[in-house]
Amino acid sequence: MAKNLVIVESPAKAKTINKFLGKNYTVTASMGHIIDLPKSKLGVEVDNNFNPLYVVMADRKKHLSVLKKESKGKEAIYLAADPDREGEAISWHIRNALCEKDKKLKCYRVEFDEITKDAVLSAFKHPRDINMKLVNAQQARRILDRIVGYTLSPLLWKKVSRGLSAGRVQSVAVRLIMDREAEIKAFHPQEYWDIEAELKRKPDSPADKFKAKLDRFKNNKIEIKKKDEADRIVAALKKETYVVGEIKESKKKKNPYPPFTTSKLQQESFNKLRFSGSRTMMIAQGLYEGVDIGKEGSVGLITYMRTDSVKISKDAQADAKKYILEKFGKRYYPDIPNTYKSRKSAQEAHEAIRPTLPLREPESVKQYLTPDQLKIYQLIWTRFVGSQMTPALYSQETVDIKAGDYIFRAGAMRLLFDGYMAVYLDGEDKDKNDDEQKSKLPDLSVGMVLDLLDLLPSQHFTKPPPRYSDASLIKALEELGIGRPSTYAPIIYTITTRDYVRRESGYFHPTELGGIVNELLMKHFPMILDVKFTAKMEDELDGIEEGEIDWLMVLKSFYSPFIHSVEKAKVEMKDVKKEAIATDEICSMCGKPMVIKWGRRGKFLSCSDYPTCKNAKSITSGVKCPTGCGGELLMRKSRRGSFYGCTNYPKCTYIAKKLPGEDAAAPEAEKKEGQA
């Protein structure tokens, strides 16, 4: 019988690790948290130093019994949950449940950032005790979130509708989306004009044609606001002689990107693959825990996927160097290995997300991966290998062309050396390179007189800021210090499932319900929705992890002003439930007017004589069902999001994501949103 029991979080992870340890170890899975705060009540003794009342989760009781049974007769238990706060807390709870009563049973914590044989065996050679600083940071976050959620949510149930929720971080994310929507609605487009000149050298060759953009007038940057101004300038330019002025040539380096952090992986995954944050993390989790790749068996293909560090190990750096030199040659590897600086708040104990073995190219494991796994692995592998290569080198040429007091500018870039871009099979860098190679200028010399072929004025309007996407919202949360790597995807999942925001063409649109909840919380709990306050709380949680701040002090300083605001809001907060908006519609059952009210599923029509008359019905869109059945379309909700269905369901089963005639395409400003 095996002497040691190893407890990990998931069966996939157990399967991968089991083959590394040998017959003296039995590996099993806890299936995540076994012990947590109770679901049915607050579960925190606020007046007793915020003592958490942990219980065995109802659906985990049998599982804990199995673990206790498996631990009997063992010499030691090795707790190998994920290397973060949650993993430390899971390990701490399991240790307390299994080892506290049996003093002979030794409990060790083992930690590794990648599930490879070397990493796992090394971790088991250097076990450690539970890190209570990590546990306390997790407890503080859990208790803070529980206090906020279990206090504000019932308030919203009472004032708005059951089934709603508020959260210390999720509500701030909703606020960001609401604020952006307000910016868009308040935006007034400003007209402006550009003027391009189509020019050519004197020799009549199609290759000598090129375009230059009007840049300055009498050495001042030109701004053209109206059509009549553009027409006047065009008329003046037609009379001028076009002469090549200054020519500048320079070489520019484009440095490789650092390896992925959690947020950058989620951003890139959305931008290139249109994967949501939760979908990306689910796929990455599978790649981390292990994939069966034939003769090697189950192998972890990437390092731990919840990290905000861009640090990589010396061994990984050496593996990358070997691969790059063999595959591309000496010119592609820098004299001094590339290193990158993490954000100030990053937890440097972890590495960046990288392939566990750079030599394991995506093509070599393609047959063992799902299409989605291959796409994510390709992103991670390419980004990491590229991060260790030399910069790309460009030649940049800028030409000023004089037309009287007006100056046009033309430019072109030429790739001299691809450097790190050699590893990219496709994507942004290759696309940009192709565009740059097309924008060539003919041979020009200072003083050369050019032929004017045409003047091309074009009207434009400034665009509002784009709505947030998964990528840009995660970027904003990270830059503002809201949330941490493990929370970005759950935040977005929560605010969409609560129907505070909806994804339309990949961008978040606030709902009316989201607007009402945000307005109430902003009015009565400005501290909770304050971005700087939320970021400060995250810093304090990091301080607990570092042992610099006492976790109870953080809870105490938060609770007193918070609970004061709660008591005040109970009395002063507007009761949306009791509000009724009059309509012209008459109740079909009693003949009295129908009114619009709020309910669990949003707005609905109710008889004004409720509760005497309980007639109620959904509010339709006013759009007739395209099938011709005589019904109207109304918005419904499912696990997969919102959709439009027919009022004659189930006789008519018509459904659609959009109303007929609605443009499903993203607005232009959103389509062209920059890479986050």
- Catalytic sites, residue numbers: 304
Distance CA 176, CA 473 (A): 8
Cα separation, 489 vs 40, in Å, equals: 25
Please tell me the distance from the alpha carbon of residue 46 to that of residue 146, in angstroms, as a whole number: 11
- Residue 312, CA distances (Å) to 90, 282, 307, 423 in order: 26, 23, 12, 19
Asked if residue 611 has a cis previous peptide bond (ω within 30° of 0), the answer is yes
Place of tokens 């609770």: 559
222: left (phi over 0), alpha (psi -120 to 50) or beta: beta
Q: What are phi and psi of 186, to 5 degrees?
A: -85, -5
Q: How far apart are CA 230 and CA 456, in angstroms?
A: 10
Separation of alpha carbons 262 and 441, rounded Å:
41
| Whole-number Å distance between alpha carbons of 643 and 379 | 32
Nearest Cα to Cα of residue 642 among 602, 670, 606, 669: 602
With contact defined as beta carbons under 8 Å apart, do 382 and 354 qualify? no
Of 545, 539, 538, nearest in space to 136 by CA: 545
Kindly report the backbone phi and psi dihedral angles of residue 236, in degrees, each rounded to the nearest multiple of 5, phi listed first.
-70, -40
Give the Å distances, CA to CA, from 394 to 252, 383, 434. 5, 20, 13
Dist CA 327 CA 386 (whole Å): 12
Quote the tokens at residue 31: 């299936």
Instruction: Kindly write down the DSSP assignment for every residue of 333-369, as one continuous string.
Output: S-SS----PPPTT--TTSPPB-BS-TTS-HHHHGGGS
Residue with tokens 């190998």: 80
Question: 48 in helix, strand or coil?
Answer: coil
Residue 445: C-alpha distances to residues 238, 248, 398, 440 (Å): 22, 11, 12, 15
CA-derived radius of gyration, the chain:
31
83 pairs with which residues across the strands?
none
> Which residues lie closer than 8 Å to 609 by C-beta, 6 or more apart?
587, 590, 592
Helix (H, G, I), strand (E, B) or coil at 532: helix
Exposure string for 346-358, b = 16+ CB within 10 A, e = fewer: bbeebbbbbbbbb
